[in-house]
Structures are given as C-alpha cells and as structure tokens.
Amino acid sequence: MKKALQLAQILQHGMVAHRQGRLAEAERSYQAVLGVKRDDFDSLHLLGVVRWQQRRHDEASRLIKQALRIRPDSAEACANLGIVLHSLDRPAEAVAAYDRALAINPRYAKALCHRGDALRALGRHADALASYDKALAAAPDYAEVHINRGVVLREINRHAEALASFDQALALQPGRTETLYNRANSLRSLGRFEEALRDYDAVLAANPDAAEAHNNRGCVLEKLDRFAEALASFNAALRLRPDHMDAVYNRGNMLLKLSQFRDAVDCYDRVLAVEPERPDVWNNRGNALVFLQRYDEAVEAFERTLRLDPDNWTAFALLASCQINLCNWQETSRLREEARIAARAGDWSRLDPLGSLHYLDDPADHLNYSRHWLGLFVPQKPAPLPARATPPSDKIRVAYLSSDFRNHPVARAIVRLIELHDRDRFECIGVSIGAADTSDIRSRIVTAFDRFHDVNLASDLDIAQLIHRLGIDIAVTLNGHTLGTRPGILAYRPAPVQVTYLGYAGTVGADFIDYILADETVLPTEQEPFYCEKVVQLPGCYHLCDETRQISPHTPARAELGLPEHGFVFCCSNQPGKLSAPIFDIWMRLLATVDGSVLWLSHMNESAKANLHREASARGISPDRVIFAKREERVEDHLARHRQADLFLDTSPYNAHSTAIDALWAGLPVLTCPTGAFAGRVGASLLRAVGLPELIASNLEEYEALARKLAYDRSLLGAIRQKLAENRPKCALFDVERSCRGVETAYATMRDIHLRGEAPRSFRIARN
C-alpha cells in the first residue's frame, strides 16, 4: 500500500511538472513509475505525450499504443495517438484513431477538432468543416476550432466566412497572434488591404521575427501601390529567412516596379535556380529584360514561360514586342497570324496595345486591344473622388502626368509647350510617375513647370488625391499605353476633365479619359468611332517640338560616320521596332537600282543589326551597304550628322514621329506613305505642317517610285531641300508658340464645356 502511494505521488509530481512545461522532470517521474510498474497506463500514455512534444514521434506512437493495449477505452489516449500519427504524416491513420476516440465519447471536442485537421490534410474539406462544426456544438468557446475552421474556409475561398471564424476566435482570445495573422490573410483575400495591413502590423509588433508576416505585409503594400514600403517588408522577410523564395520573387517584382531592373533580374535568377519550372518568374524576368533592352534574353524568358504555361497571353504579347525589336520578321509574321486568328475569335490578348500599333493598321483593332489591356491595369474601376466646384474666374490649372520626364522623346517634345504656356491664364503642374535621371532635359522640364511633383513611389490613390487636392482642372496623361503607364491614377477621376496627348498614337480605351488631342490628318473625323475619347483636332500638326534646339555647327565627314564619300545616302533613324519586311523590301530594291547608295540606320541592339544584315543578304544586297549609326550622346551632334544624309525614308505601318521632326529640323527631307491608323499618319501630318505635301506618297508603289526619282534627280531633291530651308523659320510645325495657343484654346474649350454642365464632345480648333 505504501509503495502504491509513493508511485501515485511520483506520477502526480510528473503530471504537475508536465503541465508547467518542465518536460525533463516529467519524463523522469514517468520513467521512475515505469521502472517499478511497467504496465502503468498513465505513465506510458503521458510519457508518449512527452515524446511527441520532444518531436520523437515514433517513440510517442509506440508508447501510446502500448498504453491503449492496457486501457483501450481511453478516448484521450486515442485522440493523442491521432495527433502523433498526424505528426508522422499519416493523416488517414490519424482519422481512424480519432474515430475510435469518438466511438467512446461522441462529443469529445478535442478529437473532433483534430479529426478536422487530419481530414483537411487529406483534402476532405467538407468533412473537415463538418467535424469542426460538431466540435463547436460540443464546445462553442473552443478557440482553436474557430481558428482551424477559418483556415479550411480560406483554403476553399470562402473568405468572408473564414473572417467570421477568426473574429469569433479573437473574441474568445483577444490579441492571439496566430489568429490575427490568419485574419489578416482573409482580409487580404477580400481586398480589404488597409485592414489587413493593420493586422499584420499587430502580428509583427508581437513577433518581429515572423518572416511570413513580413512577406504577406509586403504583398498588401504592393496592392496599395506603396512599392518602396513593400520592398522594405520583403527585405525584412529575407533577413530572417534568406531562402524564402516567395519573398525573393516578390522582392524582384517590387524592384521591377521601382525601375531597378538589373536587381530584379538577379532576384528572378535566384528563384529559378531553385524552382526552374515557374512560368510567372520566367515571365517577369522577361519583363525586366525588356526594360533593359536585352531582347534576346527576354525572348528566351517568354518562350520558356509559354512552354510551361501555353495560355499565358501576356508572355505571348511581350514576346511579339521583343521580336519586332529584334527585326526577326519570320517570327513576327507567325505571331501576327496567330494574333489575327485569335482576334477573329474575339481574343484580344495576343498583343499589347503598343504592339498592336506596330503589327496592325486597323484602328478598330487598336481600340479592342486597348480596352482589353486596360482591364489588366484597372480590373475594377474605383469609386471616383468627390466632384469639385471650379470657380470660372480662376486660372486653368493643367497637370501633365508622365513617366518620361527624363532623357526621352516625350520630354524633349513637351518641354517647349510648358515653357510657353500663358501664365496669366494657365498654371502648369508636372506630375512625374517615372524614374528620374540627371539629364539636362530633366532639369529643364522641372524648371519649366510652376510646380513639379516627383511621385514615382506613391500609390495610384495617393497621386489621384494629390491631383484632386491641387484643384487641377485638366489632367493630361502623356503615356497612353507606353511603358511606365499608370492608368489607375486617372481611373479615380481626380480632375473634372481628363485628356490623353502626345505619348501614345491611339485610343487609351478608357471611359475616364474625356479627350484626345490630335489633328485632322492623324485622326480624321471618320475614325472617331474607334476612339473612346472625344477628338480635338488641333490646327496644323498635333505633334510638338522644341524649336530652340541647337544644331552643332560642326558637320562630321561622311568617313567619320562610316558612310561612303560619294553615293546616295538613304536614312532612317527609327528604332528597330518600326521597321517591317515590306518597307525593307522597298529599301533593298532602291539600293539595288541606285548605284553606290547605302541605307543608314539608327543605333540598334546587336541581334537586330545581325538580322537586318541577314535580310539584306537574302535580298541580294551586300550587308556592308546597310550601315548603323553610333550612339550620339549630344542631341546637337546627332542633329548635325543628318546633313550627311540625302533622304529620310519613313516606316510603315508605324511612322517616324520625333525622329522625323529631328530630320526636318536639320534640313533633311522626309518621304512618307500614310496608312490607316493614327501611328501611320503622323509623317503626313508633319510634312503638311512643314509645307512639303509633295513628299506624301499615296501608296507604297508611289513611295518607292518617288524615292528612286529623288535619288536620281539631284536637282529635284535640291529644290525640295531649299524649300524646306525656306519654310523652316515660318512653317506651322516649328511655330511652337502658335501650337501652344491652339492647345490652350482646346483646354479652355474643354473647361467651358464642363462648366456648362455639358458632356464632352469632339471639336476642332480653327487655324489662327
């Protein structure tokens, strides 16, 4: 009797130590009992629990099974065996153990709870929920069940119900970080990002080393367009877990959005070294490479994406854009046909809007592609900011939004307009949504604005609220669908009048853009049905330039430029993406028939150069007659070298824009052939505005014949050069002040229409 009493005291001591977490002390007590009484149920059972807590699961299973042979009717031991078996990744056997416990005690909440966990591991979500519901019927205040039930509901995308479960758990156990973390995940899935952020912050305040919470917090910040803060969260996750591949990938995505492209590629490479079959990583790697103009590598990335995910249409569209920049016309022909087949089936995903301008010449197609891709940027149009009364006596406040206020053609084209705006009538605000550089044009454009806001790192909503707070009357996007666009800003309707201008030669496809500034040549009235915007036809040419630009007095010798001393020089300064096989066919026929002539092209990536040399050879032309200019850092030197060319040949279906203006400003005639859509009609607009309509061919046959005639008839070409020189000081194209007055009249008319409470409508500005 005394011995039995001593064993009971030892066992009781062990149980107290066990409850207090002193596992080693509990273990010694249980083993002491078993040293005397090998078949003691409680000691075997509880030592098994200790072994499970010590992660010695095989021993735990053996001990608890041994205990159950002594007392098979112990529901608690059956349930604990289920927990151990689940830890051994044997969930089906765990379910059987829980069922054995429930056969003994059908309302045993612990067994019902953990049975639900095992069923969840087996993918039997409905059965798991049923088990949790039975547990709650037996024990409504069992917080663990509410948590686990919420987790299952999240996994089957019933996020609102999951949130309710987590809220119930928090009511029972306020501040529990596990529950807050799960609640934050549900809020994130429901798109309630601000609330999710607060919960993640609460989790991290209690547990700063929770790497997964840092990662998920970063994902929420990304959704809120707070990219710099998101990057900091991903960095925090990686400091805690350097091998957290999701955080590495997410970090790469933030670096991509923050224009840190090389670092983004490094992140994607780290992920692919571990997980080489992830199409999303290959696709985003390709995106970053496009910005770096490493088109060959980007093609490889997009092709790898499509092998892994054939339905990834963004990869297809970006692959198509890369191939035009490589002048890989065999591939562009194939991709164009695939896009046409898809479009006939109503699938407008195979080209991005900018790519569609290069591949296709139908404004109806351009509208469909723009509408489709706009849905990616703005999948759900946000509620507009509150309407704001605009006193009619105020100056007209115009905000220009662009990602290209840097060394870029858009900045060089718009800067003079900003400088010339009438400050008695207009206040001009710059809103920069792209990366800055240290160029002279950046400094000049910042100075030109009355106020300049660099908000590249701000969210769409924050930028929209800034525009709204500044009392902007007219917001003008200079991006359209070009790289760096952020249409989500204007989707908030921060200004009463919103306009697209200059940067993109087509419709944005958005009902929140009221007007597009164009002219009667690039956007004739009959094409208005293919534009979501109302069309404003400016007098002369819609495209701006900077007539203050200087041209270097020094003209480099042809030999310095790699050109023949004698012989006709056809040239084109367009980027490779605007070149096409039909136009190149014409150019090669010209070289074949004009003795000693050469084709002088802009600086290009090495693959594009190689492809064009190959295409020349295939057409019987020696590759050394296709010459590529070197990159010229100074604009005045670039303009000066135009003097050594004889004729600028425009491209089709996407014309030269700024490059044609450069040529005309430098005194070099431009030959064009307008096509069906805005992007292919700019050359004609420029030539009419400079007073040289005779250089507008009506079709490609006439284009080729006129180019050949000008190459042979030097007196005719000389007369055109002379006419250009005479027109240059007085023509509409280079009268930027007159262009500015036309734009200002357009803005004033837009505002007047708005103040009268009328809907936007198309109109035309008369020539002054």
Q: What's at 421, amino acid-wise?
A: H
Calculate the dihedral angle through the C-alpha atoms of 451, 456, 457, 460, rounding to the nearest 10 degrees.
Answer: 90
Cα distances (Å, whole numbers) of residue 401 to 203, 575, 595, 607: 38, 24, 49, 34
Q: Is residue 216 part of a domain?
A: no
Domain boundary among 317, 342, 377: 377
Query: Cα–Cα distance between 522 and 75 in angstroms, integer?
Result: 82
Q: Are residues 360 and 442 in the same domain?
A: no
Q: In the numeric block, which tokens belong to residue 188?
A: 């994130």
Contact yes or no for 693/727 (Cβ under 8 A): no
Supply the DSSP string of 236-253, one letter for each residue. HHHHH-TT-HHHHHHHHH
Provide the pLDDT for residue 222.
94
Q: Are residues 465 and 405 in the same domain?
A: yes
Q: Shortest CA distance to 402 belongs to which of 448, 366, 360, 358?
A: 448
Q: Shortest CA distance to 670 belongs to which of 552, 633, 652?
A: 652
Strand (E) or helix (H) holding 499: strand 497-500
* Close Cβ partners of 621 (under 8 Å, ≥ 6 residues apart): 588, 591, 592
Task: Give the domain extent around 533.
Answer: 396-538
Cα distances (Å, whole numbers) of residue 263 to 153, 203, 280, 424, 698: 38, 30, 17, 46, 48
**Which residue's structure tokens are 């997410």?**
250
Provide the pLDDT for residue 1.
54
Number of domains in the chain: 4
Query: Cα–Cα distance between 428 and 476 in angstroms, integer?
Result: 11
Hey, which bits of 611-698 come out as E strands? 626-628, 647-649, 670-671
Q: Is residue 234 part of a domain?
A: no
Q: What is the CATH number of the domain that holds 438?
A: 3.40.50.11380
Q: Is residue 715 part of a domain?
A: yes
Q: Is residue 578 part of a domain?
A: yes
* Secondary structure of 267-326 as H, E, C letters: HHHHHHHHCCCCHHHHHHHHHHHHHCCCHHHHHHHHHHHHHHCCCCHHHHHHHHHHHHHC
Angle at 163 between CA 161 and CA 165, to 5 degrees: 75
Beta bridge partners of 515: 499, 534
* Total residues found in the chain within this entry: 768
Contact yes or no for 733/506 (Cβ under 8 A): no
Provide the pLDDT for residue 381.
87
Our measurement of the distance from residue 507's CA atom to the centroid of its chain's CA atoms, rounded to an integer in Å, reads 19
Contact yes or no for 122/135 (Cβ under 8 A): no
Q: Are residues 421 and 373 in the same domain?
A: no
Q: Are residues 115 and 182 in the same domain?
A: yes
**Which residue's structure tokens are 């198509």?**
320
Q: Are residues 450 and 359 in the same domain?
A: no
* 189: exposed, middle or buried (Cβ count in 10 Å: 0-12, 13-18, 19+): middle
Q: Are residues 706 and 666 in the same domain?
A: yes
**Which residue's structure tokens are 């004889």?**
646
Q: In the numeric block, which tokens belong to residue 628?
A: 């590529």
Query: Cα–Cα distance between 155 and 29 in angstroms, integer?
Result: 43
Contact yes or no for 359/336 (Cβ under 8 A): yes
Query: Mean pLDDT of successive 10-residue segments in the chain (768 residues)?
Result: 74 88 88 86 90 93 92 92 93 93 93 92 93 93 94 94 95 94 96 96 96 98 91 98 97 93 98 97 97 95 97 92 96 92 90 94 95 89 84 84 96 97 97 93 97 92 95 97 93 97 97 98 97 97 95 96 96 96 98 97 96 98 97 93 98 97 98 97 98 98 98 97 96 96 98 96 91
Cα distances (Å, whole numbers) of residue 469 to 395, 436, 463, 472, 498: 16, 24, 10, 8, 16
Q: In the numeric block, which tokens belong to residue 370?
A: 């723009």
Supply the DSSP string of 553-598, one letter for each residue. S----TGGGT--SSS-EEEE---GGG--HHHHHHHHHHHHHSTT-E
Cα distances (Å, whole numbers) of residue 111 to 74, 140, 162: 12, 15, 21
Provide the pLDDT for residue 742.
97
Peptide bond into 653 cis (omega under 30): yes
**Which residue's structure tokens are 């853009």?**
513
Query: In b/e form, how buried is each residue of 92-124, taking b as 16+ CB within 10 angstroms?
Result: ebbbbbbebbbebbeebbbbbbbbbbbbbbeeb
Query: Cα–Cα distance between 639 and 634 in angstroms, integer?
Result: 9
Q: Is residue 463 part of a domain?
A: yes
Query: Cα–Cα distance between 320 and 315 in angstroms, integer?
Result: 8
Query: Cα–Cα distance between 94 and 97 in angstroms, integer?
Result: 5
Q: Are residues 372 and 444 in the same domain?
A: no
Straight-line distance from the first to the last Cα atom of the chain, in angstroms, rounded to the nearest whole number: 119
Q: Are residues 509 and 654 in the same domain?
A: no
Angle at 39 between CA 35 and CA 44, to 5 degrees: 80
Provide the pLDDT for residue 390.
58
Helix axes 409-420, 736-755, angle to 10 degrees: 80
Q: What is the CATH number of the domain that holds 180?
A: 1.25.40.10
Q: Are residues 528 and 666 in the same domain?
A: no
**Which residue's structure tokens are 């670092």?**
263
Q: Are residues 156 and 80 in the same domain?
A: yes
Q: In the numeric block, which tokens belong to residue 625?
A: 């007659």
Q: Are residues 50 and 134 in the same domain?
A: yes
Query: Cα–Cα distance between 326 and 297 in angstroms, integer?
Result: 11
Q: In the numeric block, which tokens belong to residue 691?
A: 């007073």
Q: Is residue 372 part of a domain?
A: yes
pTM of the model: 0.85
- Longest CA–CA span in the chain (Å) reads 130
DSSP structural state of residue 577? G
Q: Shortest CA distance to 658 belongs to which of 547, 748, 544?
A: 544
Q: Shortest CA distance to 195 belongs to which of 231, 235, 233, 223?
A: 223
Domain boundary among 210, 229, 255: 210
Q: Is residue 749 part of a domain?
A: no
Supply the DSSP string of 152-183, one letter for each residue. HHHHTT-HHHHHHHHHHHHHHSTT-HHHHHHH
Q: Are residues 352 and 495 in the same domain?
A: no
Query: Cα–Cα distance between 513 and 533 in angstroms, integer?
Result: 6
Domain boundary among 210, 227, 254: 210
Q: In the numeric block, which tokens belong to residue 65?
A: 């099974």
Provide the pLDDT for residue 159.
95
Q: Beta 497-500 vs 515-519: how paired, if at all?
A: parallel
* Secondary structure of 373-427 as H, E, C letters: HHHHHCCCCCCCCCCCCCCCCCCEEEEEEECCCCCCHHHHHHHHHHHHCCCCCEE
CB atoms within 10 A of CB 306: 18
Q: Is residue 571 part of a domain?
A: yes
